Structure 1
Amino acid sequence: MSRLRLLAAPLAVALLLGSCNNPSSSVPADASKGTSTDSLAPYMPPDSTSNFEITSLPLIQSLSFAPDLCNDAQDVYVVAHEDDDLLFMNPDISNVVRQNHCVVTVFLTAGDNEYGTQQVGIDYQQYWRDRESGERAAYARMAGVANTWTEQIYTFAGKAIRTSVLQANPRVRLMFLRLRESNSSGVTMRKLWEGPDGQVGTALDNSNTFTRQEVLNVLNNVLTVSEAKYVHIQDTNPISYSGASDHADHTAAALFGQAADKTYTAPHVLIQHRDYNSNDEPNNLSSDQTADKVATFKTYAAFDPFICYPQTGTDCIAPGNFHYDWSMRQYFHIDPTQGGSVVRLPDGRLATFVVGDRSSSLRKTVQAAPGSSSWNAWDDLKGNFAALPTVASMADGRLAAFVRRNDGTVAVTTEVSSGGAWNNWVSLGGVVSSTPAAARQADGKLSVFVRGNDGQIYVKTQLTPNGSWGGWAGVWGPKFASNPAAMLDRFGCLVLFARGADGAIYTVAQTAPNGGWGSWKSLGGAFGNDAQPVPGRDQDGRLEVFVRGTDGKLYQRWQTFSGGWGGWGRLYDVQFTQSPVVASNTDGTLEVFVRSVSGSVMSIKQTSPNSAWQPWTDFGGSFTTVIGAVPDATGRLTAIARGTDDRLYQKVQGDVTWSAFLTP
């Protein structure tokens, strides 16, 4: 039966190189202008033109995981070099490996560093093979099992790919495309991404040739076969916060991963991990996390002679060494279109919540006074994640914030007292790939709703108002592919909405206030993969549901007094991006805010309570997302949006212009 499964050298030098850790400072920045390939002959093995692995390892046609092996938790990591994953994506990888997720890490380049190894007399073909051995040892350590692997060749999109499967934990698999990294001759992975269509790169083991599209085909095939629920890539748009640039291979690999992800349509989460530009950020891992991350990296480093060159073991990985310093932190690239939450506190002030790009934690800012245009400095609620927060009020007025962690579990933090400090994050468990939705039941108990990785909707409810939490329960129905949304109806029953895998919007209601659930009903429609239903409540208590259509326009359907639903209607012809934001005015009318395709904020409002709709109003501005809209202490709606300059802006009903306040 379906169920929500519960799981138990200096930086400036390194930036020039094809691997993350080569201390050689005289390597040419442009490999095409470096030493000719003829001079590399002494460093290439005699059989370098033959592919001994393809002919000696078994060729297996499928890498599909057994149905019950992964517990609906599959992670795929796509990185440029061996060690990028260990430095920039941990402790996430350690966490999911130890929680028995299925983990596939794809290394696009061999990390061969042809020119750097030549300068110090290292056989660069042996060097990149040793780096792969280091990765296997590191993953075995993370899994807590013997470093014994089954080496096989799997076919993805017609390419034979070297794959290592951890024998004592076959959930863990490493794949090596072995393209040339940017500090090497020939057509490198970076050149495949940046160069003209039709360029061909050859794997260093001569197993395959790749065009740019063929690399994308392999990655898409890996995501599909692995049934990835969490896709992890490097930073596609690294911002130079303190002058430190990122490695070009990191960005190219991230763009390959992002492009492949866009063609992978199964419900899943995309997480971008920051690389070199996290160098000057504060350390945000605990001492235990740092110690474990350092120990894992040292396990790898024992195979990589460049990390502590000349080779002296791994003693150089100590405080002050940049590998150690990177092991003290983990940061994420936050999509500026992600949004956040806006709520009103009991004292009338508004509070805005976002996940910060510089903090990779939940941050809160509160108005200096009710109705004020000034806002207090950010309060850091800690945590280490990249997902959209959901904030709701408990029965006693205290706030509760929910977030999906990077391992797929749900976490919650609550205010100690209204408007005061916050408690530590507490795990609610689960394995989910949706943004949580939260709503109070008629008796005041708070419920949180998620879409599990099996496509079902699950709910967890406080045992008493403001109290501890019960277990997860399924609200069984068809397969769903969107975030859930919940709202109380006029009878005091919670009503759920979600988009089905067939593109239709479905709804289900409690059979009685605080009670069980009826049967899901299709409201029809054919909405796209990014469509998220958003409910609103009319003054008379009837619910309406709003969703962005495949044509980019706003569609709406409403409850009838007989208990049924009217037909879908389109609210004029404005095209917008992302999901709509629905708010209630104090006069009882509903108002919907969107970000237009030109970047301005627009709204559409009912002509009177429970009635038809006025034409759209354009409020102007240039924004990446609308975060929320809530009535302020005077009853005027206040809209909060994120500008293209990365600052937050507010606009209150009656104001002519937007006013900026903080940068996330």
Structure 2
Amino acid sequence: MHWTRYALVTLILVAGLGAPSRAAAGPGRCALTVVAHEDDDLLFVNPEISDDIAAGRCVTTLYVTSGDAARGPDYWRSRERGEMAAYARMAGRPARWTEQTRLVRGHPVHRATLAGTRITLLFLRLPDRVGGWPDQTLQLLWLDPSVRMYTLDAGHRYTRATLLTVLTAVMVIYQPTVIRTLDFRGAYGDGDHDDHHTVAYLTHAAQLRYRTPHRITGHLGYPVARRPANLTAARYRAKLGHFLAYAPHDRVVCQTADRCDRGGYGAYLRRDVRVPAPAGPGRNVAGQALPAASSGNEATVEVAAKAVDGRRDGALLGEWVTVGERAGAWLTLTWPDPQVLNRIVLYDRPNRADRITGAVLRFSDGSTVPVGPLPDDGSPLTVHFAPKAVTSLRFTVTGVSGTTRDAGLAEIRAVTAA
């Protein structure tokens, strides 16, 4: 039996995280990884983290959610211990951890440091998508500045603005020259987890505020399984071994090398694929905009943000639904920076009663594009136009079927031309 020892320090609330000194870390030798859930780093970013540890670099990993999956504190706290076991194995050290909770810009952050190393794990302990469903999800927080989320340990409140502030502050404290995260190029609905994309978007936005010279890399999440395996057998076995140190603390994942080899986890563990920069043609950038609407069903959380959440079949409340509106209902998307678009893809609500028969798209450059009837069978209507650089668009309903009670959209996609 493998025994893991932890040194638990009394709860301390102070003004900073106490990062390694620059002299201790060495110039240009710190890396920060920001992921959504406990195990994302082991599955999708390693072996880059274990390489840094082997090279003696200071390594910090931040977990934005608790990975709770609505299973309660025993489960998410066990996942934290699993990460500690995995990092101790990567470092070749006994798992002697010091745990403290400290304030970063007024927000408690739980910190674990491994004795005799420059390894730090940070836990924000927000609910994941399952635990926060339907109105406290990271995706909704990213898309709607008014949304509030609360940590699972102390109920501390986060908004989009405060989460960005904390992420930026962590970068300033730890001074990484390398920042790693998940997929900031992909879009909601592409097969990856909403939390993965959202944490990547937040991290990418935060690092734009961080002035120390650095580079950032994004890593494919679930879709990496569709890519060719790119780790050697030896690298895969080492990565698998680190994951299996974590596994006993998470009853959901594969527990043996054989099970991991033959299952989906093996596909993730055999790969480490970086994503290109979030630029260029053919990208759906609707999820990078702030959506707003004439109305939305707040009771069911079928609000403006649900029109850009990547779900187009109505599953999991994935629709924007107005409250008794027909012609005249509108939805806007506003971007912080100009986007060069050449097409909009529209999905009507997936029911036979509510159907949009006409609409108009108005862009921030003053141009308009008429929209004909939206298909009533769940298929998309793609609206093409000459490329234009815009910072916003408004979709306004001009006609509906006679049976329509609550106009809305299952999904809108804004696709880049450049």
Smaller-chain TM-score bracket: 0.5 to 0.7
Which residue does the alignment assign to 1:245? Answer: 191
Q: Tell me how far 1:316 sits from its aligned partner.
A: 5.2
Letter paired with 1:257: T
Post-superposition CA distance 1:234-263 (Å, at most 9, x none): 1113269xx961111101111111111111
Q: Say whether 1:71 aligns with 2:71.
A: no
Q: Say whether 1:216 aligns with 2:164.
A: yes
Which residue does the alignment assign to 1:109? Answer: 65
TM-score, normalising length: structure 2: 0.62
Which residue does the alignment assign to 2:128? Answer: 181
Show the 5 A alignment for 1:147-162: 147-162=95-110
* Structure with larger RCO (C-alpha < 8 A, sep 6+): 2
Q: Tell me how far 1:173 sits from its aligned partner.
A: 0.4
Letter paired with 2:26: N
Give me the whole-angstrom Cα distance separating, in 2, the residues matched to 1:645 and 1:286: 37
Q: Say whether 1:167 aligns with 2:109.
A: no
Q: Tell me how far 1:281 sits from its aligned partner.
A: 0.8
Post-superposition CA distance 1:311-339 (Å, at most 9, x none): xx43553322111121111101112659x
Letter paired with 1:57: L
SS in 1 for 2:200: helix
Q: Say whether 1:92 aligns with 2:92.
A: no
Q: Tell me how far 1:60 sits from its aligned partner.
A: 4.2
Which residue does the alignment assign to 1:300? Answer: 246
Q: Tell me how far 1:276 sits from its aligned partner.
A: 1.2
Which residue does the alignment assign to 1:257? Answer: 203
Residue 84 and residue 336 in structure 1: after superposition, are their counterparts in 2 closer, same or farther (change >3 A)? closer
Residue 336 and residue 213 in structure 1: after superposition, are their counterparts in 2 closer, same or farther (change >3 A)? closer
Give me the whole-angstrom Cα distance separating, in 1, the residues matched to 2:81 and 2:139: 24
Q: Say whether 1:200 aligns with 2:148.
A: yes
SS in 2 for 1:318: helix
Give me the whole-angstrom Cα distance separating, in 2, the residues matched to 1:194 and 1:328: 33
Letter paired with 2:100: Q
Structure 1 unaligned blocks of 5 or more: 1-53, 118-123, 339-620, 623-643, 647-664
Residue 323 and residue 147 in structure 1: after superposition, are their counterparts in 2 closer, same or farther (change >3 A)? same
Q: Tell me how far 1:269 sits from its aligned partner.
A: 0.5
Residue 333 and residue 68 in structure 1: after superposition, are their counterparts in 2 closer, same or farther (change >3 A)? same
Which residue does the alignment assign to 1:190? Answer: 139
Which residue does the alignment assign to 1:319? Answer: 261
Give me the whole-angstrom Cα distance separating, in 1, the residues matched to 2:100 and 2:258: 35
Q: Tell me how far 1:188 sits from its aligned partner.
A: 2.7
SS in 2 for 1:206: coil
Which residue does the alignment assign to 1:229? Answer: 177
Is the contact between residue 98 and residue 143 of structure 1 (CA under 8 Å) also seen in structure 2? yes
Post-superposition CA distance 1:38-95 (Å, at most 9, x none): xxxxxxxxxxxxxxxx994233433232122211211111111000110000110000
Letter paired with 2:136: V
Give me the whole-angstrom Cα distance separating, in 1, the residues matched to 2:215 and 2:260: 34
Q: Say whether 1:128 aligns with 2:76.
A: yes
Q: Tell me how far 1:172 sits from its aligned partner.
A: 0.5
Show the 5 A alignment for 1:266-415: 266-308=212-254, 313-315=255-257, 317-335=259-277
Residue 125 and residue 69 in structure 1: after superposition, are their counterparts in 2 closer, same or farther (change >3 A)? same
Residue 55 and residue 91 in structure 1: after superposition, are their counterparts in 2 closer, same or farther (change >3 A)? closer
Give me the whole-angstrom Cα distance separating, in 1, the residues matched to 2:97 and 2:54: 18
Identical positions, percent: 32
Give me the whole-angstrom Cα distance separating, in 1, the residues matched to 2:163 and 2:137: 12
Letter paired with 1:64: A
Post-superposition CA distance 1:417-444 (Å, at most 9, x none): xxxxxxxxxxxxxxxxxxxxxxxxxxxx
Give me the whole-angstrom Cα distance separating, in 1, the residues matched to 2:270 and 2:45: 12
TM-score, normalising length: structure 1: 0.40
Show the 5 A alignment for 1:458-607: none
Give me the whole-angstrom Cα distance separating, in 1, the residues matched to 2:223 and 2:45: 14
Spell out structure 1 runs of 4+ moving beyond 6 A.
none
Post-superposition CA distance 1:202-241 (Å, at most 9, x none): 100015211111111110000001112111111113269x
Max Rg structure: 1
Is the contact between residue 35 and residue 64 of structure 2 (CA under 8 Å) also seen in structure 1? yes
Give me the whole-angstrom Cα distance separating, in 2, the residues matched to 1:103 and 1:60: 22
Post-superposition CA distance 1:604-662 (Å, at most 9, x none): xxxxxxxxxxxxxxxxx98xxxxxxxxxxxxxxxxxxxxx779xxxxxxxxxxxxxxxx
